[in-house]
Amino acid sequence: MTQGATALIKKLADGQRAKRFIAVGCINTAVDFALFNLLFYELGYALLLANLLAWLAAFSVGFLLNRNWTFARVAGDSDMKGQFLRYLLTAGSALLLASASIWLAALIMPAWLAKIVAIGITFVWSFTLSRLWVWPH
């Protein structure tokens, strides 16, 4: 194995960051779900507007927690705007990947299982991009 490949594997095999990334994902999901239900069911917002606002809130929480906790040692005082843009692109690409994954997987398995497959795929994708591109140090 080349030195570059070895360094890449070591960078991605960061168990502590992966655990924190999963924890942040759980928090994001809770924020998204709770806020969506509040906006849609309690406050009467339109379905897609409630979903968009809940997603934006969860996205913002995710960015701040990942920047200040999961990847705190590497985020430092570096360019927050650049990190935010890269995080946004990562989240957007993960959404597209999740949609494609669940659609393809649902052709051969129940939708609930396809959703689990999509979550696994997007976790690997999002963590890899976050570790190597959003907060690369």
Could you give the percent of the chain with pLDDT greater than 70? Answer: 88
* Cα gap 98→123, rounded to integer Å: 10
Residue 125 has pLDDT above 90, yes or no: yes
- Residue 33 has which token pair? 């779900």
| Average predicted confidence (pLDDT) for the chain | 87
> Which of 82, 102, 92 minimizes the C-alpha distance to 125?
92
Give residue-wise pLDDT tens across range 71-113. 887 756 678 899 999 999 999 999 999 889 989 999 999 988 9
pLDDT band at residue 39 using 50, 70 and 90 as cut-offs: very high
User: Residues 42-82: pLDDT tens digits?
Assistant: 999 998 898 889 989 999 999 999 999 998 877 566 788 99
The angle subtended at Cα 59 by Cα 57 and Cα 62, nearest 5°, is: 110
Would you list the DSSP string of 6-58? HHHHHHH--HHHHHHHHHHHHHHHHHHHHHHHIIIIIS---HHHHHHHHHHHH
Segment 3-16 shows an average pLDDT of 63
